[in-house]
Amino acid sequence: MAKGYWVSVYPAISDPERLTAYDKLAGPAVQAGGGRNLALLPSRGGRVVAHEAGITQRVVLIEFDSFEQAVAAYESEAYQKALVALPDGFERDFRIIEGID
């Protein structure tokens, strides 16, 4: 079974500190849904080399055991509460994708 992934890119964040409330809710919701953080850059000290569009803002990659599990985690009550905590003043490109076996 192919794995599922959440891929989030934040092209614009006016105040990164305001994401704290979202992070505190989203982290446990993702873990409860079976997700594993593979990357949270650059905020956790990871390196980024940007090409083409040149976006070096926050990038998040989360792995799930299946695509269905990834969708269910997004639709969960716990994660929906986290979404409400997202502050104004940022842009996010969020995708749920199916991996290749």
Which tens digit of pLDDT belongs to each residue from 15-30?
Answer: 777 788 888 999 999 9
Which tens digit of pLDDT belongs to each residue from 48-86?
Answer: 888 888 777 888 999 999 999 999 999 999 999 999 888
pLDDT (0 to 100) of residue 62:
97
58 within 8 A of 86, measured Cβ to Cβ: no
**Domain boundaries along the sequence of the chain:** 4-98
Q: Any idea which fold 4-98 has?
A: Alpha-Beta Plaits (3.30.70)
pLDDT-derived band of residue 7, with 50, 70 and 90 as boundaries? Answer: very high
pLDDT (0 to 100) of residue 17:
76
CA–CA distance, 32 with 79 (Å, rounded to integer)? 10
**Looking at per-residue confidence, does 85 or 96 come out higher?**
96
Query: Exposed e or buried b for every residue in 71-96, given b needs 16+ CB within 10 A?
Result: bebbeeeebeebeeeeeeebeeeeeb
